[in-house]
Amino acid sequence: MCLTFFGGSKASHTPQPYWHPAAWTRSRGLRHPKSCGCNRSCWVSIVVGCGGLGSHVAQQLAYLGVGKFTLIDDEELDVTNKNRYVTAFAADPVPGSAKVNLARRQILLINPKADVIIVGEELRSSSAFRAVASGGYIFGCLDNDGARLILTELCAAYRRRYFDLATEIIPSDRAVYGGRVFASWGDNGCLVCRELLNLAEARRDLENSAARQDRANLYGVPVADLNEAGPSVVSINGVVASLAVTEFAVAAAGLRRPHTLLTYRGDLGRVTVSADPAPTRCYYCHEIYGTEDAADLERYLLDREPA
């Protein structure tokens, strides 16, 4: 499969930027620079994961005026999600509510003219890979390091600008809670060389789905509960999503580059900015970067066709 060849997202997206006159006025500082010349096609947003973080991101991007979305998630809403998914409501049936459909509904309620493509499959699918490779800003709203590692490699290979969002609660007598936003911009490192990703944990996450199912059966809890390792607190997700969308907005509008790493410590009530220089050597940043189809990312696909 040639991801570049199938990179039809730009062609299939009909540019339909939406700005309510009031929003236009109040968001003047975030208007798209005319110098870009892309007719806002570079404002395509691809949200990978439409759960606790991704639901906030989709909602905020729609309010911000982004008119073109691709939403990627293969899961359905669970009753335990309803305390924090801003795209879900009490009447939404469980089972029967795909997370991508909930996010699409929210976007279209805000902006009926939005162009929303849904990929109701997991990241390790041909459809999801094509969507990520084909263009736009990537918002990784994932809950495991295995998927983060794949998305890191995919974004590096196809030179995608990638915001990775993460939230965490570490329980103890004095709980540590918060999150971070990392913006991978092509020349400032990645999650791996910045040591923001646990490779051992990523390897465990990349076990085949059958093994994960066995583990779920062993513990006697739904798989969805095991996958949902992040904190079940809407406000923490909201803070981190807001940081990411703000960094996107100022960067897309040409005001400044996004900060490489913002770290939110809710327990301390502060957000810090990392000024560390990018590592000089990294397999993903230097060997994989820009190699596109030669990176052989098909090896990760779960729906890969037999040779």
CB of 284 to Zn ion, least distance (A): 5
Residue 193 binds to Zn ion (criterion: CB under 5 A)? yes
CA 286 to CA 273: how far, in whole Å? 24
**Rounded to the nearest 5°, which phi and psi values hold at 288?**
-85, -30
Point out which span in 9-17, 56-64, 70-78, 280-288 binds Zn ion (CB under 5 A): 280-288
Which one of the spans 17-25, 105-113, 192-200, 257-265 is the region binding Zn ion (CB under 5 A)?
192-200
Cβ distance to Zn ion smaller for residue 19 or 185: 185
Whole-angstrom distance, CA of residue 59 vs CA of residue 107: 6
Pick the stretch among 102-110, 118-126, 181-189, 227-235 that binds Zn ion (CB under 5 A): 181-189
In the complex, minimum distance from the CB of residue 212 to Zn ion, in angstroms, rounded to a whole number: 27
Measured in whole angstroms, the distance separating CA 286 from the mean position of its chain's CA atoms is 23
Q: Are 125 and 174 in contact (CB under 8 A)?
A: no
Cβ distance to Zn ion smaller for residue 233 or 282:
282
Q: Is 190 in the site for Zn ion (CB under 5 A)?
A: yes
**Judged by CB, which is closer to Zn ion: 163, or 284?**
284
Question: Rounded to the nearest whole angstrom, what is the least distance from the CB of residue 286 to Zn ion in the complex?
Answer: 8
- Which of 192, 245 has the CB closer to Zn ion? 192
> Quick one: which of 160, 134, 151 has its CA closest to 192?
151
CB 280 → Zn ion: shortest distance, Å? 10
- Pair of tokens at residue 179: 């999150």
- Choose, by CB under 5 A, the member of 64, 236, 262, 285 that binds Zn ion: 285
Check: CB of residue 51 under 8 Å from CB of residue 72: no
Shortest gap between Cβ of 270 and Zn ion (angstroms)?
27
Stretch that binds Zn ion, among 77-85, 122-130, 244-252, 282-290 (CB under 5 A): 282-290
> Helix or strand or coil: residue 20?
coil
Q: Which stretch binds Zn ion (CB under 5 A): 127-135, 172-180, 249-257, 276-284?
A: 276-284
- Backbone φ and ψ for 148, nearest 5 degrees, come out as -65, -40
Q: How far apart are CA 298 and CA 307, in angstroms?
A: 11
Residue among 223, 226, 282, 301 that touches Zn ion (CB under 5 A): 282
Residue 187 or 305: the one with the smaller Cβ distance to Zn ion is: 187
C-alpha to C-alpha distance for 232 and 80, rounded to whole angstroms: 9
CB of 287 to Zn ion, least distance (A): 10
Peptide bond into 95 cis (omega under 30): yes
CB of 198 to Zn ion, least distance (A): 15
Strand partners, 303: none
**Is 45 or 188 the residue whose CB approaches Zn ion more closely?**
188
Which of 15-23, 121-129, 162-170, 277-285 is the region at the interface with Zn ion (rule: CB under 5 A)? 277-285
- Letter for the amino acid at 104? R
The whole-angstrom separation of Cα 284 and Cα 202 is: 15
SS3 label, residue 168: strand
Name the amino acid, one letter, at 49.
G
- Identity of the residue, 200 or 210, whose beta carbon is nearer to Zn ion in the bound complex: 200
Q: Binding residues for Zn ion, how many (CB under 5 A)? A: 6
Cβ atoms of residues 16 and 115 within 8 Å:
yes
Q: What residues make contact with Zn ion under the rule CB under 5 A?
A: 189-190, 193, 282, 284-285
